Structure 1
Amino acid sequence: MGDTSDPDEGFVLDTSRPFSRADAAKAKIKPSTLRGPRFTRLFSGVYVAADAPATPLQRVQAALIPFGENGFASHASAARVYEVPIPTLPDEHVTVTTAAHRRAHPGIVCHVLRKPRAVVMDGIGVSAPDQLFTELASQVSLVDLVVAGDHLVRHHPRVTPATLADFATTGTLPGSRLAARAASYVRENVRSPMETRLRMLIVLAGLPEPRINTLVGSGDGMLKREHDLVYAASKTAIEYDGKQHPAEQWERDLERREEADDDGWRIVTVVAKGIYRRPDLTLEKIHRVLLVRGEPGVPPHLSDAWRPHFPVIR
Structure 2
Amino acid sequence: MAVFDPTVPFRRSDALAAGVSAWGLRAFRRLHRDVYVAPEVGLDARVRALAALTTAPAGALVARHTAAELLGGVVPSSPHVHLVLPRGSRVRAAGIEARVGRPLSNARIRGVPVTTAEDTFVDLGPELGLVDLVVLGDSLVKAARTTPAALVAAAASATGAQTPVLRRAAALVRTGVDSPMETRLRLLLVLAGLPEPVVNHVEYAEDGRWLRRFDLSYPELKVAVEYDGRQHAESQRQWERDVERREGLDRDGWRLVVVLSKGVYREPATTLDRVVAALAAAGSTARVTSDEWRAHFPGY
**TM-score between both structures, scaled by the size of structure 1:** 0.86
Q: Is the radius of gyration larger for structure 1 or structure 2?
A: 1
Q: How does 1:96-245 map to 2 (within 5 A)?
A: 96-99=85-88, 101-156=89-144, 159-172=146-159, 175-216=162-203, 224-243=211-230
Q: Does 1:42 align with 2:31?
A: yes
Q: Tell me the equivalent position of 1:7.
A: none
Q: Does 1:88 align with 2:88?
A: no
Paired letter, 1:162? A
Q: Which moved more, 1:200-209 or 1:109-118?
A: 109-118
Question: CA 1:11/1:132 → structure 2, altered by over 3 Å: closer, same or farther?
Answer: closer
On the 8 A contact 1:165/1:184 being kept in 2, the answer is yes
Q: How does 1:272-291 map to 2 (within 5 A)?
A: 272-291=261-280
Query: Deviation at 1:68?
Result: 4.5
Query: Deviation at 1:141?
Result: 2.3
CA distance in 2, matches of 1:284, 1:148: 27
CA distance in 2, matches of 1:269, 1:95: 42
Q: Tell me the equivalent position of 1:6.
A: none
Query: Deviation at 1:43?
Result: 2.3
Query: Deviation at 1:238?
Result: 0.4
Query: Deviation at 1:285?
Result: 1.3
Q: Tell me the equivalent position of 1:64.
A: 53
On the 8 A contact 1:135/1:175 being kept in 2, the answer is no
2:172 counterpart SS class: coil
On the 8 A contact 2:118/2:151 being kept in 1, the answer is yes
2:221 counterpart SS class: coil
Paired letter, 1:121? I
CA distance in 2, matches of 1:69, 1:221: 55
Q: Aligned Cα RMSD in Å?
A: 2.5
Query: Deviation at 1:107?
Result: 1.7
On the 8 A contact 1:11/1:26 being kept in 2, the answer is no
Matched positions, count: 298
Gaps of 5+ in 1: 1-9
Query: Deviation at 1:249?
Result: 4.4
On the 8 A contact 2:122/2:154 being kept in 1, the answer is yes
Question: CA 1:31/1:278 → structure 2, altered by over 3 Å: closer, same or farther?
Answer: farther
The C-alpha deviation readout for 1:275-313, integer Å capped at 9, x for no partner, is 1222221112112222232225x13x4422112212312
CA distance in 2, matches of 1:82, 1:250: 35
Question: CA 1:109/1:175 → structure 2, altered by over 3 Å: closer, same or farther?
Answer: farther
On the 8 A contact 1:135/1:173 being kept in 2, the answer is no
1:70 counterpart SS class: coil
The C-alpha deviation readout for 1:61-112, integer Å capped at 9, x for no partner, is 111111253211110111121121211111111112322x322222212122
The C-alpha deviation readout for 1:115-135, integer Å capped at 9, x for no partner, is 212122211111111111112
1:109 counterpart SS class: strand
Q: Tell me the equivalent position of 2:10.
A: 19
Query: Deviation at 1:243?
Result: 1.4
CA distance in 1, matches of 2:270, 2:82: 39
Gaps of 5+ in 2: none
Query: Deviation at 1:11?
Result: 7.5
CA distance in 2, matches of 1:175, 1:77: 21
**TM-score between both structures, scaled by the size of structure 2:** 0.90
CA distance in 2, matches of 1:309, 1:242: 20
On the 8 A contact 1:233/1:295 being kept in 2, the answer is no
Q: Does 1:253 align with 2:274?
A: no
CA distance in 2, matches of 1:32, 1:107: 26
On the 8 A contact 2:72/2:139 being kept in 1, the answer is no
